Structure 1
Amino acid sequence: MGEPTVWELLERHLGRAAELRRLLHSEPDLSGDESMTRDRVLQALPGDQTPVKVAETGAVLRLGGPGPCIGVRGEMDALPVTEQTGVPWASRHDGAMHACGHDLHLAALVAVAWAVHEARLPVPLLVVLQPREETYPSGAKDIAEHGILEAEQCAAMIGAHIQPALPPEVVACVPGGVNASSDEFEIRVHGTSGHAAYPHLSCDPLLALSEIVVALQSIVSRSVDPMSSAVVGVSSFASGQAANVIPGLARATGTIRALDPRNRALLRDRVVAVAENVARAHSCEAEVRFTDGEPVLENDPALVRAVSTHLADQGIGLSTTLRSLGADDFSFFSERMPSAMMFVGSETTDALHSASFLPTDADLRLTARAMLAGYLGAADLLTAPDA
């Protein structure tokens, strides 16, 4: 019998990965406080290299020799959710839960790292343990701007995310934009307060903001190509305290999502124009503030083709249509280097971020196989004769 393949080696480490997943799930760390999770994952990884601490609570670890490497990202943070799964290994931290599958991703990454390490594959693997995927400031942005990826000669980045919208044993690996840019906005309308019985003596910011919110709903349908996907949504509205007092201020917040970077800039401009001009029509003033979020997550077409070949060779079903106006700060990596984010089908039908979300060990196996296919596809491109 010959040496085991890297795929066979992966299977040997899935049991240990499942145990690690349960440990991580039971002891979740919220965004910005992932040091314990980081250290547990580092202890579970192979090799004798010294990790480099980045982004406060994150780390990168090279497995293999010098030269260009392939990065695989694992997010570490949990969500501020009170778990309702009832499993023996449920979260022991009140108000914290791995409700987005990050515990699963980390455990899958450890299994992949062991398989690549034991197979002695020629292309080094860079394990990227990323904090703060769920909150701002973005952990991926901090790592991307740190310079460590360039220092390690990271040639491509691979990510995989569990996705219950897909059926089990199916992986979506799609070229182009697969996650939207995401910006938040706040609109503050300043008017003149007064007695509700004498509205002609006031400038009502609540009425002005109400019309602004309605007007914002037509921006996408009248400013964006119908063949492009985008969202402008208002999610909070606050104004006034008394039934007989016209307030002096009204405030709303919302989100802008787009799969085309050009639409991202267009929609921001349109939100400002609508808010300012509608407010002015009511003798009020509107102030718009933006919180910059993630850019569009673009999958590299050549990398997608190479990864899809390995997925298909393993008999994994492929989806070529799944895109989402959700956002993931993996996009800060895809801005800088060829990258591929895969969405992994799940046996659970509970929604991401729900208190009952609990992927299975089969989902862990598929996630690990997707990550390994990503690494191998990127390695193929890196070692091709014309690379």
Structure 2
Amino acid sequence: MALMDDVAAAEAVAWRHELHAHPELLFAVERTAGFVAGKLRAFGCDAVVEGVGRTGVVGVVRGRTAGGRTVALRSDMDALPITEATGLPYRSTVPGRMHACGHDGHMAMLLAAARHLCATRDFAGTVALVFQPAEEGGGGARVMLEDGLLERFGIDEVYGMHALPGLPVGHFAIRPGPIMAAADRFEISITGRGGHAAMPHLCADPLLAGAQMVVALQSVVARNVDPLDACVLSVTQFEAGAAQNAIPNAARLAGTARVLKPATRLMVENRTRAVVAGLAAALGVEATVQWTGGYPVTVNDPERAAFCAGVAADVVGAGRVDDAIEPMMGAEDFSYMLEQRPGAFLFLGNGASAGLHNPGFDFADAALPFGAEYWIRLVETALPAT
């Protein structure tokens, strides 16, 4: 099957540029959702349901042959609170917001696939086109699930895709099992006894305790995690004091932990709490740890991952598909969907672009036909017409 023709490709580019110029954050994606819903209705979807998971949109397309299975294809919709620095003609028109993670491209590809599927319906069964809000920290996938996404639309399998800078355009990458990490956040509050910097013996220095905690927390990974396992613990914030001649009363640390295994995730939290408690006791301060669980590990079903690699190979050739990419320590809330239904998440090459979440990032228009064709071929292969 050939990639989309020049007219269809140009229209997908125009959609992406329109979406890129009008970024919206988290669940407040009303304009974006309206744009998506309008296109799905114009294409002739059998149903278009808005307001799923607050502002999500689901389009339903039934094949020309009846079938009992429903496959979901998911795109995220939200942007990031980043000031764009691309200088592009279609750059963000909203100060302090931009599509720095490729969600504009994700939507354009799924819309292009939706138009083709509505026109041809060359499959048996049903496709649910899921446009999700709040991937960037809001857990929009979880909220859509809580709103009955899977049950309301009878979804049996779920599939996701994401642009990947550094992977050439026209290439795909995937792996069975864990492909993206769980991401937790922690905050450590330290309370001591402040005083004059010339008389530290009369104080209980929370800054000293915090400094030792920053160093000691590196042992959580270095001396507790199997070297063949993947784990990152980073202290990213340290706040204390306001005067050069005063020891403060309090200090605050914050950071993130990323893991690929549930057991490692629990161990890192427990060891962090133990290290903080031990140092607080030794240095005469009080300390509390607030641990906030983030997105879980994104785990591809091995059978579906192999299936997706095969579909991608049909689109671009086996030599352009890496089916054993190394896991990445970023996080993705599509993981919530994969916890409840079998499926897989793969990466689409974005070429030598700036990195994700970078002010200079832009989704590669040349990648749109490959992603749209992948979605079409996935549906027609997973739900073959009889």
With the shorter chain as reference, the TM-score category is over 0.9
Amino acid at match of 1:16: E
Q: Which residue of 1 aligns with 2:26?
A: 31
In 2, the alpha carbon distance for the partners of 1:58 and 1:269 equals: 36
TM-score (norm 1): 0.92
Cα distance in 1 for partners of 2:185, 2:52 equals: 26
2:96 aligned counterpart, secondary structure? coil
Letter in 2 for 1:54: V
Counterpart of 1:318? Answer: 321
In 2, Cα distance between equivalents of 1:11 and 1:174: 32
Q: What amino acid sits opposite 2:137 in the alignment? A: T
Q: Which residue of 2 aligns with 1:43?
A: 38
Sort the Cα spacing of 1:163 and 1:9 in 2 relative to 1 into closer, same or farther, 3 A.
closer
Superposed displacement of residue 225, structure 1: 1.0
Task: Tell whether 2:144 aligns with 1:140.
Answer: no
Which amino acid in structure 2 is aligned with residue 327 of structure 1? A
Amino acid in the other structure paired with 2:355? A
1: CA distance between counterparts of 2:115 and 2:377? 14
AA of the residue aligned to 1:74: S
Q: Distance in 1 between matches of 2:5 and 2:49?
A: 22
Confirm whether residue 72 of structure 1 aligns to residue 86 of structure 2.
no
The equivalent residue for 1:338 is 342
Cα deviation per residue 1:212-245 (whole Å; 9 max; x = unaligned)?
A: 1101111112111111101010000001111121
The 8 Å contact of residues 307 and 374 in structure 1, kept in 2 or not, is answered as: yes
Following the alignment from structure 1 to structure 2, what is the Cα–Cα distance between the partners of residues 373 and 195? 70
Aligned mate of 1:57, from 55, 58, 80: 55
TM-score (norm: length of structure 2)? 0.92
Deviates more, 1:226-235 or 1:313-322: 313-322
CA distance in structure 2 between the aligned counterparts of 1:190 and 1:70, rounded to whole angstroms: 53
Post-superposition CA distance 1:14-57 (Å, at most 9, x none)? 33211111110111112221011011011112224131421212
1:318 maps to amino acid: V
> 1:346-361 counterparts in 2 under 5 A?
346-361=350-365
Amino acid at match of 1:277: G
State whether structure 2 residue 251 is matched by structure 1 residue 250: yes
Q: Which letter maps to 1:68? A: R
Indicate the residue corresponding to 1:225 in structure 2.
Answer: 226
RMSD: 1.9
Q: CA 1:11/1:109 → structure 2, altered by over 3 Å: closer, same or farther?
A: farther
Q: Which moved more, 1:242-251 or 1:181-190?
A: 242-251
Compared with structure 1, are the counterparts of its residues 9 and 357 closer, same or farther at alpha carbon in structure 2 (3 Å cutoff)? closer
The equivalences for 1:276-295 within 5 A come to 276-295=277-296
Runs of at least 5 residues in structure 2 that lack an aligned partner in the other structure: none
Query: Percent of aligned pairs with the same residue?
Result: 38
Deviation at 1:374, TM superposition (A): 4.0
Q: Against the structure 1 CA distance between its residues 223 and 330, is the aligned structure 2 distance closer, same or farther, given a 3 Å change threshold?
A: same
SS where residue 68 of structure 1 aligns?
strand
Deviation (angstroms), 1:140 = 0.7
The DSSP-based 3-state class of the residue aligned with 1:343 is: strand
Partner residue in 2 for 1:372 = 376
Larger mean Cα displacement after TM superposition, 278-287 or 42-51: 42-51
What are the Cα deviations for residues 221-272 of structure 1, in whole angstroms up to 9, with x where unaligned? 2111111101010000001111121111110100010011111111011111
Q: What is the distance in 1 between the residues matched to 2:310 and 2:376?
A: 12
**In structure 1, C-alpha distance between the alignment counterparts of 2:148 and 2:112, rounded to whole Å:** 27
- Deviation, structure 1 residue 327: 0.4
Separation in 2, partners of 1:378, 1:263: 35
